[in-house]
Amino acid sequence: MMNESLGPEWEPSVANMMVYGQGQQITVLVDPDYPNAWKTEPYTKQLNDWACEARRKGGYIIVFVGDDVFKINPS
């Protein structure tokens, strides 16, 4: 995700995931060698915050980990 407000922890080589927008969807592609990367901090909180914002706008966040697909339901 090319967003200058994100810190260096979101660099794909650090986060072990790539994030990008597609219309109303935010897609997260997680390195299958690190399947739980998206479930750790600081990523979990940020993804949940984005999911809340996306929901208000009619969007959503989808996470791909290899063949597994998850939708983040904001809390």
Per-residue pLDDT reduced to its tens digit, 18-65: 999 988 999 999 999 999 999 999 999 999 999 999 999 999 999 999
**1 within 8 A of 7, measured Cβ to Cβ:** no
Range of the domain at 66: 34-75
Q: Is residue 21 part of a domain?
A: no
Q: Is residue 10 part of a domain?
A: no
Question: What does the pLDDT read at residue 67?
Answer: 96
Q: Is residue 63 part of a domain?
A: yes
Q: Is residue 53 part of a domain?
A: yes
Question: What does the pLDDT read at residue 1?
Answer: 47
Question: What does the pLDDT read at residue 38?
Answer: 97
Rounded to 10 degrees, the C-alpha dihedral 49/54/59/64 comes to: -30
Question: What does the pLDDT read at residue 75?
Answer: 80
Q: Is residue 69 part of a domain?
A: yes
Per the structure, the count of domains in the chain is 1
Question: What does the pLDDT read at residue 4?
Answer: 76
**pLDDT higher at 6 or 19:** 19
Q: Is residue 7 part of a domain?
A: no
Q: Is residue 39 part of a domain?
A: yes
Q: Is residue 51 part of a domain?
A: yes
